[in-house]
Amino acid sequence: MRTPRPAPGKMHENEVDTDPSLVERLLAAQFPHWAALPIEPVESAGTEHAIYRLGDDMAVRLPRLDSAVAKVEKEQHWLPRLGPLLPLAIPVPLAKGRPGEGFPWHWSVYRWIAGEHATLDQLADPVRAAVTLAEFLTALQRIDTSGGPLVVDQRLRGVPLAMRDGFTRRSIASLSDGIDTEAATALWDASLGVSEWNRAPVWFHGDVLSGNLLFARGDLCAVIDFAGLGVGDPACDLMIAWGLFSGDSRQAFRDALGVDAAAWARGRGHALSQAVQFIPYYLDTNPVGVANARRLLAEVIADYNANG
């Protein structure tokens, strides 16, 4: 059954409207010292939040739907604690807004991080970028997890792949006209067949895809959007190996992280699961995100066909 189509300009059927006028009213009511600054919508393939640039050095981030609301509090609480321990810039919350002016949820003001999204051919040195990202993820995994949001409690992306089995298979079937469903199913079966994470849970970002990496002059400078942040198996953070890197840079990423075969297979399974669910849901509403998901899917299937 096809997912109901949202209204034009929206990504979700139950999405709340936002626009610069709303942001201006929220600021005037709650943070009047910022209310006169220019407000501009930010083009983004992100799916859970609407983003507006505020002046030169801030951004306003509002949940699009109720399932994203709890992530406001999570980022507000954890990002100031994690940021000083990480080797790349991450978002810095400056304020938390309250519901008001017809907007029903809490929202955030962040420091703006300068940078651009990049494709593989735009990177100054893809191997260096891969190693830099691996070092960031290693540093994240080493941080004390006490009190962190456990994946098993919040059903974040890093849940065991078996918990994603039903809807992943349904999503593969829904794309039968556009992908090699036999290869995709074989890859998924292989991912389910490897051993699960059996060590102490560690921090993971939860959405390490190209849209959440920022580059300056071709070098990785920041990791953004920690809505999927959690504590558990970090294999879900391997999706970027196929979402951005290839060949030598993909191998450098794996080597720098010291990932074993089982974790690599689980990461490839997470990548496939994310892509096959994203494409049909956002087919008519998020062309950039769908194009990225199609590339990710093609890469994981090609890798599986070549290497098993």
What pLDDT, in 10s, does the model give residues 242-285?
999 999 999 999 999 999 999 999 999 999 999 999 999 888 88
pLDDT higher than 60, residue 6: no
Does the residue 104 lie in any domain?
yes
CATH code for the domain of 25: 3.30.200.20
Share of the chain above pLDDT 90, in %: 83
Helix (H, G, I), strand (E, B), or coil: what is residue 221? strand
Q: Is 153 helix (H, G, I), strand (E, B) or coil?
A: helix
Q: Is residue 242 domain-shared with residue 290, that is, in the same domain?
A: yes
pLDDT tens per residue across span 36-48: 999 999 987 678 8
- Given this model, what pLDDT does residue 2 score? 38
Rounded Cα distance between 283 and 177, Å, is 14
Q: Do β-strands 230-232 and 202-204 pair in parallel, antiparallel, or remain unpaired?
A: antiparallel
Number of domains in the chain: 2
124-164 pLDDT, tens digit each: 999 999 999 999 999 999 999 999 999 877 677 888 999 99
Distance CA(215)–CA(304), nearest Å, equals: 29
Boundaries of domain holding 28: 20-111
**Residue 297 to residues 181, 214, 218, 225, 227, Cα–Cα distance (Å):** 11, 22, 25, 22, 23
Say what the pLDDT of residue 179 is: 87
d(CA 93, CA 107): 10
| Average pLDDT for the chain | 92
Q: Decide if 176 is inside a domain.
A: yes
Task: Report yes or no: 216 and 123 within 8 Å, Cβ to Cβ.
Answer: no
Three-state DSSP at 196 gives coil
Model confidence band, residue 7 (pLDDT cutoffs 50, 70, 90): very low
| Same domain for 209 and 128 | yes
Please indicate, yes or no, if residue 55 is contained in any of the structural domains.
Answer: yes
Least confident of 18-32, 248-262, 284-298: 284-298
pLDDT, tens digit (0-9, with 9 covering 90-100), for 195-243: 999 999 999 999 999 999 999 999 999 999 999 999 999 999 999 999 9
pTM: 0.93
Q: How far apart are CA 97 and CA 112, in angstroms?
A: 17
Mark whether 246 and 159 lie in a shared domain.
yes
- Does 291 share its domain with 180? yes
> What is the model's pLDDT at position 9?
58
Question: Which residues lie across from 53 on neighbouring strands?
Answer: 40, 59
